[in-house]
Amino acid sequence: MRAPVRRVARDATIIAWRNLLNLRRTPGSVIAALVQPVMFVLLLAYVFGGSLGGADYRTFLMGGIFAQAVTFNAAFTALGLAHDMDKGIVDRFRSLPMPRMAVILGRTLSDLIMSAVTLAVTSLCGLLVGWRVTTSPGEALLAYLLILFFAFAMSWVGATIGLMARSVEVAQSAGLIWLFPVTFVSSAFVSTAAMPGPLRTVAEWNPVSATATAVRGLFGNPPPGGLTPGDAWPVAHALPYAVCCAAAITAAFMVLALRRFRHVTTG
C-alpha cells in the first residue's frame, strides 16, 4: 500500500514541478492571477467601502477577497489542464509508466502553490489598505491553512471542468461562468441579511460564505455595524462547516475528475 502511494506522490511532484517551470512561458496568466485579487481589493475597498463602513469594511472585506481569490484560481486549473489535453501532453504522460492519479494531482498541487503566492500578494495589498490580524499567530496560521485547503478543493473543481471541456476556449468560458454567482451570492462582500429569503439561504450555506466567515473569525476581523452576519447554522459554525465543505468538494470532484480522465484517455 505504501509503495503505490509513494509512487503517486513522487510522480505528482514531478508533474507539479514541470507545470511550475512552464509558467515561465505564460507569464501573462501568472500576472492575471495575481492582479485580479489586488484589483478587487482596491475596487471594493475604495469604490464601495466608503458607503459600507470605511476602514472597518476594508478589514471585513479581506476574508471575502481571500475566499474569492482561491475560488477564481479554479479557472487557472481548468485552463491549464485543457491546454495540456489539447497539446497532447496528457497523451504523452499516459504512455509513461505513471499512475493516472499523478497527472491530475500534479496539476492541482502546482496550482495550490500558485494560490499560496496569490494569498501572499493579496495579504500585502490588504495590509496597505488597512487590514490587520488581531488574533494569535496560531489562529492566523490556521486561517491561511483553511484558505489553502479550500483552494485545493476548488482546484479539483477546475480539473473536472478542464477534463470535460472539448477545447481550451470552452474550458476558458466554462471555467469562469460559474465563478461570479458562486462568489457574489455569498457573504464574501456583504451581509446576507438583506437578501431575499431563498437567495439568503443559498448564500448562508455557500462554502465561500463559510470560508470567508471562518477566516474573519480566525483573523479577528468582525463585520462593521451595518453588516450583521446572521444566526443560521453555517454562520454560527463557520469553521467546522468550511472544513467539511472543502473535504466534501475535494472527495467528490476527485472522483469525478478521475472518472473523466479514464474516459478521455481510453475513449
pLDDT over 80 (residue 13): yes
Question: CA 212: distance to chain centroid?
Answer: 12
Q: What is the mean pLDDT of the chain?
A: 87
The phi and psi torsions of 221 (rounded to 5 degrees) equal -115, 85
**pLDDT tens digits for 66-114?**
999 999 989 888 888 888 888 877 777 777 777 878 889 999 999 999 9
pLDDT over 60 (residue 37): yes
- What is the per-residue pLDDT for 3? 57
- What is the per-residue pLDDT for 206? 96
| Percent of the chain's residues with pLDDT above 90 | 45
Query: What type of residue is 159?
Result: A
Q: Which of 239, 17, 211 is nearest to 106 (CA)?
A: 17
Average pLDDT over residues 162-174: 83
Q: Which is more confident, 195 or 29?
A: 195
**pLDDT tens digits for 171-217?**
878 878 899 899 999 999 888 888 888 899 999 999 999 999 999 99
Tell me the domain boundaries of the chain: 2-266
Q: d(Cα 70, Cα 34) in Å, to the nearest integer?
A: 11
pLDDT over 70 (residue 55): yes
- What is the per-residue pLDDT for 101? 85
- What is the per-residue pLDDT for 51? 62
Average pLDDT over residues 154-160: 94
No. of helices (H) and no. of strands (E), the chain: 13, 0
- Range list of H helices, 129-232: 137-164, 168-177, 179-184, 197-205, 207-219
